[in-house]
Structure 1
Amino acid sequence: MPKAVDLELASLTKRYGDTLAVDAIALKIRAGTYCCLLGPSGCGKTTTLRMIAGHESVSDGDIVIGSEVVNDQPPAARGTAMMFQSYALFPHLNVRDNVAFSLKMRGIAKSERHARAQHMLSLVAMQAYALRLPSQLSGGQQQRVALARALVTDPSILLLDEPLSALDPFLRIKVRAELKRFQRELGITFIHVTHSQEEAMALADLIVVMNNGTIEQAGTPREIFNEPRTEFVARFIGGHNVIPINGRTVTIRSDRVAVLPDGAEAKGRPARIAAIEYQGAAVLVSLTLDEGLPLAALVPERVFYQHAFEPGQTVRVRWQQGDLHDVSAAA
């Protein structure tokens, strides 16, 4: 089994001509961590992943794997493996030979590489499909084969570039649970690029939120969700309202906003319901405060239907003071 190692990015920078794609980011990822690089398109997350893999050169700064700076090492010498978004399976090779291909390129004898490929296929429950072609597999099965191919070289760090984006929503949930299980069983570091907040929350021990080539915040999923450091993180991670109160910029989680019928005895700020979206266990209520600010409330289904709220209705909204969270004014 591979040995997990620490990864450190020290002032890591990538320029494409006059364009600064990654701006002197600093990050330490401890061995055995499931880390998600999260952010919108163009934020620098995939470029960062490709620099770690050795598929992009470093403009400045260092990539340290274990105790070694690997900036100038080729991908095969870094102890990393990359699983691409498209899976990139060879259509003319069967599943076993796809998984064993990198071992063949290293000159490993056929009997050994086939044995190692079969072992990896059993890990991802695909051993029964060893002689099939990729075109004979479903999307989820192809994803498992791509994972086995990445793991067959015993990497210390597995790099995943949006590996679930091609799957349908139901299968995506199933496969992300499998990815987490594989990572725990193998004990190695996974670094997973995604633009899905839900995916990062479900998978990561460490979420790194990126924006415009910089790291806005790094922390556990609970820290990121409950204690966003900037307005950008609060808005991007979702489930938060960002509003000014007494000259401060604060956030309040939408599930901590109570919506009450308007009336003489109702306490709270006046608001008008703009839209209602039923989500099953809860109802998302879009509101406008009296000063024109938008506000969202996530109301439990049972509570919502006790009051029969309707769009256009005037209501009262309130929250606990302790549920307000200060953020910087950074956009």
Structure 2
Amino acid sequence: MRSASDIELVKVSKLYGGSTRAVDAIDLRIAAGSYCCLLGPSGCGKTSTLRMIAGHEEASDGDIIIGGHNVTLLPPSERGTAMMFQSYALFPHMSAIDNVAYSLKVRGQDKVTRRKRAAEVLELVSMTPYAERKPAQLSGGQQQRVALARALVNEPRVLLLDEPLSALDPFLRVKMRAELKRWQKDLGITFVHVTHSQEEAMALSDLAVVMSHGRIEQAGSPHDIFNRPRTEFVARFLGGHNVIRADAGRPAPIAVRADKVKLAAGAPATAGFDGSSIAGLVRGVEYQGVHVLVTLDAAGDQELVAMVDEASYYAAPLQPGEACTLSWNSADAHLLAA
């Protein structure tokens, strides 16, 4: 396998129809050998960004630099990248090994050489016993492994993945997530993975890039982004946070993690907190195993949530319609950009 390449996007934009700005002058650097997830809701520009890196979409403006070389105008075959599509796009009439070997055939390699190389890559993704099966004879997870092997057969420096886990059931998605992370570490190449799943991005990425309306809202390690969201959009999109509006003494909203707040029935601030609190009414209670999720309607028409550990909740349960106070420690509150 080739060595990894870093990626740099410099003021990259994508316009459709001359006026619809899907990607708006973004700057981003992805370190060589890292796992980067582009994260955001549908229409945020993440897939257009991935396709521009691959060369399947032409950048309307800006520069794309891979491994120190400006590849903005190069075709996909000359960028040192490979793309794994959401649909897998396997040829239904070909066996797994022939699917993997196909690009080598197009490049003119003889049958013995290309099948030998394809077999090596199928071994890497634990698909050797299924090499002669056609896609219809494979499970979703097995098809994904074949698609990954096909992307790796030309030894790319960068692997681009467009929502590769979205077609899998939840159990298999978690299993394959762990496999992707392991393969990336073993191969040592740069992975860029598009997803709308916060959980997926948190679990996989070294660098998480949260996008909205064609712009990068925040980029950093999952730990940093989750603990210090920069904007209200990031805090709400990642989930697990309360965004509490600004008041007369605070110019911008704050974010407080839902597992860092405390609830008390009709009481003022709970002992041990510094007086930061808000009154509300319990709207709903949802048991989620290790914790209970309590939703409340708070003052100022705000919907807030608290993750209460199971033992604490059942020691003093709250019921829908009951008045309560949600309180937090100022050290756990993070000021968001105005």
Alpha-carbon deviation of 1:289? 2.0
Root mean square deviation of aligned Cα: 1.3
Structure 1 residue aligned with 2:106: 105
1:285-315 C-alpha deviation (Å, 9 max, x unpaired):
0012234322110111111111121111112
Rounded to whole Å, the distance in 1 between the matches of 2:162 and 2:28 is 18
Query: Partner letter of residue 175 of structure 2?
Result: K
Determine whether 1:125 maps to 2:126: yes
Structure 2 residue aligned with 1:252: 256
Rounded to whole Å, the distance in 2 between the matches of 1:221 and 1:266 is 30
Structure 1 residue aligned with 2:296: 287
Alpha-carbon deviation of 1:72? 1.4
Structure 1 residue aligned with 2:183: 182
Question: Out of 296, 307, 320, which is 1:311 matched to?
Answer: 320
Structure 2 length as normaliser, TM-score?
0.95
Aligned structure 1 segments of 4 or more residues deviating by more than 3 angstroms = 263-269
1:138-176 C-alpha deviation (Å, 9 max, x unpaired):
001000100000001100000000000000000000000
Q: Count residues with an aligned counterpart.
A: 329
Structure 2 residue aligned with 1:277: 286
Structure 1 residue aligned with 2:7: 7
Rounded to whole Å, the distance in 2 between the matches of 1:265 and 1:194 is 39
Structure 2 residue aligned with 1:59: 60
Aligned runs of 1:76-155 on 2, under 5 Å?
76-155=77-156
Q: Which consecutive unaligned segments of at least 5 residues does structure 2 have?
A: 272-276
Rounded to whole Å, the distance in 2 between the matches of 1:109 and 1:265 is 75
Q: Which consecutive unaligned segments of at least 5 residues does structure 1 have?
A: none
Rounded to whole Å, the distance in 1 between the matches of 2:200 and 2:268 is 44
Structure 1 length as normaliser, TM-score?
0.97
1:44-95 C-alpha deviation (Å, 9 max, x unpaired):
1000100110100111111001111111111111100000000000000000
Query: Partner letter of residue 297 of structure 2?
Result: T
Structure 2 residue aligned with 1:68: 69
Rounded to whole Å, the distance in 2 between the matches of 1:139 and 1:14 is 33
Alpha-carbon deviation of 1:266? 5.4
3-state DSSP of counterpart to 1:255? coil
Give percent identity, aligned residues only.
Answer: 60
3-state DSSP of counterpart to 1:98? helix
Alpha-carbon deviation of 1:272? 1.2
Query: Partner letter of residue 167 of structure 2?
Result: A
Alpha-carbon deviation of 1:278? 1.2
Structure 2 residue aligned with 1:243: 244
Determine whether 1:302 maps to 2:311: yes
1:211-265 C-alpha deviation (Å, 9 max, x unpaired):
1111110000001101111111111111111112433311111111111233589
Query: Partner letter of residue 250 of structure 1?
Result: I
